[in-house]
Amino acid sequence: MSSAPAAAPKAARSDLRFAVIGAGMSGILTAIELKKRGLGNFTIYEKADRLGGTWRDNTYPGLSCDVPSHVYAYSFELNPEWSHRFSPGAEIQNYFEGVARKYGVDRDIRFNSEIVRAEYQGGRWQLETRDGHRDTVDFVIAATGVLHKPVHPAIEGLDSFAGPCFHSARWDHSATLDGQRVGIIGTGSTAIQIVPAIADRVAKLSLFQRTAQWVLPLPNPAYSEGEKAMYRDKPELLQQSYVHWTRRFVDTFARAVVGDQDEMAKIEQACRDNLEQNVHDPDLRERLRPNYRAACKRLIMSDTFYPAMQKPNVDLVTESIERIEPAGVRTRDGRLHALDVLVLATGFDGHNFVRPMQVVGEGGRELDQAWAQANEAYRSVAVPGFPNFFMLVGPNSPIGNFSVIMISEIQIAYILQLVDLVRSGKCDAVAPKAAATARFNADLRAAMQGTVWVSGCRSWYLDKNGNPALWPWSFERFRQEMQAPDLSEFELT
């Protein structure tokens, strides 16, 4: 008896089309990596009129990155021209614009084109933008970012304030600050950068604090022209700096937050010493002292915040806010804090991900349905039932530990290995198995119990169930697990 002939392998695909959603750091990276692999049939859909993501949206005074500049860059495009160890936001925005131009991906961006719906039909994704444009693609790569939906506080009377009132991510540069009475609601990284930047310009600065923050006093020295020339002339030294700062993060902070008690003790002591040694008024010192463990919230890094808070025109308000009135902020002790300008440094919804885009997978199931109880993905990048749909910096990416650029580079390399399965003709579509995704998330929740993020504070890391949307293991484990997909955990159709 002769056996049936084997099915002929499918031919390699050269016609694959991609949609990249978002022209921030991860979207630019994705476009570059697609081009490197000869996958040039793509469009980057960007809802705004300019690329840059968070560095486009945030333009507040004092804005800088809390990751060292030599690490906060693409590994293939290190930059010798940074002005400071932690560079200003405008420089970072210029860097991304320059990289996009250099690699020609700026020409692939469709601006003012917010994707409102993506539906998987007949083996391909049907996309629709807010202005009615439609596209059909084989793959969707969502590079929509994490901190892109500003949160406005639910405070009575917020709309009644008579002066300029705006979120820090929508800074109103037409508002006059010089000689004015300015209030800032919030004490996260943003507020702690704004305070030193404007304290000497304003007549009065009132910082409304709900929760005190631990502050690590990292200096931010400028790079001299000689140092820039050295890095420019000797790229190997720039690479060494990249490796050095990466190791510093991996071997200290990244270990501390996931359970290394010795490293955490060093961080906590440095924060306590900063408070004790640099805040001289005992009452102010105690009001600035947190009642939770360092790094439970995202750790603040600043050597200018405490000095600014001790200026005579700066007031720390710890009484809770009762309501906003046309003339200012009234606290529960009955005091009216008269203000001319009110800034809402109240952060972002870190659990929004691709929303408000409507994503519809196999069988008409929406991503909002799949995520009704919690945002769960397979290794942060894919969701069962949504073939050929991938995310960069998705749920439980290790954004609390490392440079997010490094994370995106590792994730896109992993994703493109899955794309290669379709490109080579091995399958038409790929998605993680539901059981594998459930196992991964169960392991993740169990491991989270050993991290600092569950030690008892409220933070934007926590989802509606109180679970941190972070990576609870080491950087080495992240890099190792993302080296190559385990194809036994995927549906190949």
3-state secondary structure of 325: strand
Asked if residues 387 and 431 have their Cβ atoms less than 8 Å apart, the reply is: yes
Q: Do domains 18-149+349-492 and 158-221+229-344 have the same CATH topology?
A: yes
* Cα(180)–Cα(167) distance, integer angstroms: 18
Q: Which two tokens stand for residue 253?
A: 């902070």
* Cα(180)–Cα(201) distance, integer angstroms: 8
pLDDT at 352: 79
Q: Which two tokens stand for residue 390?
A: 């991938």
Q: Which phi-psi region, left, alpha or beta, contains residue 414 (left: φ > 0; alpha: ψ -120 to 50)?
A: alpha
pLDDT at 68: 92
* Cα(450)–Cα(260) distance, integer angstroms: 9
Give the rounded distance of the alpha carbon of 320 from its chain centre.
Answer: 29
Give the residue among 25, 75, 29 at the shortest CA–CA distance from 53. Answer: 25
Task: Kindly report the average pLDDT of the chain as a whole number.
Answer: 93
The domain locations on the chain are: 18-149+349-492, 158-221+229-344
pLDDT in tens, 209-239: 999 999 999 899 999 999 999 999 999 999 9
Question: How does strand 115-121 pair with strand 358-360?
Answer: parallel
- 311: number of CA atoms within 13 Å, CB side? 20
The pLDDT confidence band at residue 401, using thresholds 50, 70 and 90, is low
% of the chain residues with pLDDT over 70: 97
- Give the N- to C-terminal CA distance of the chain in Å, as an integer: 30
3-state secondary structure of 360: strand
Q: What is the DSSP letter of 293?
A: -
Asked if residues 323 and 330 have their Cβ atoms less than 8 Å apart, the reply is: yes
For 465, other C-beta atoms within 10 Å of its C-beta total 8
pLDDT at 7: 46
The pLDDT confidence band at residue 111, using thresholds 50, 70 and 90, is very high
- CATH code of domain 18-149+349-492: 3.50.50.60
Whole-prediction pTM value?
A: 0.94
* Cα(243)–Cα(75) distance, integer angstroms: 10
HEC secondary structure over 388-427:
CEEECCCCCCCCCCCCHHHHHHHHHHHHHHHHHHHHCCCC
Residues 375-393 have a mean pLDDT of: 97
As its CATH architecture, domain 158-221+229-344 has: 3-Layer(bba) Sandwich (3.50)
Q: What angle do CA 393, 398, 399 make, to 5 degrees?
A: 70
% of the chain residues with pLDDT over 90: 81
Give the residue among 19, 16, 17, 15 at the shortest CA–CA distance from 127. Answer: 19
* Cα(205)–Cα(62) distance, integer angstroms: 15
Provide the b/e sequence for 138-164 (b: ≥16 CB within 10 Å). Answer: bbbbbbbbbbbbbbeeebeebeebebb
Alpha-helical regions (H) of 15-53: 25-36
Q: In degrees rounded to 5, what are phi and psi of residue 453?
A: -70, -15
Q: What angle do CA 272, 254, 261 make, to 5 degrees?
A: 55
Give the residue among 161, 174, 211 at the shortest CA–CA distance from 347. Answer: 211
Residue 58 has pLDDT above 90, yes or no: yes
Q: Which two tokens stand for residue 272?
A: 């306590």
pLDDT in tens, 245-301: 998 888 888 888 888 899 899 999 999 999 999 999 999 999 999 999 988 888 899
For 284, other C-beta atoms within 10 Å of its C-beta total 17
pLDDT at 4: 41
Whether omega before 356 lies within 30 degrees of 0, making that bond cis, reads yes
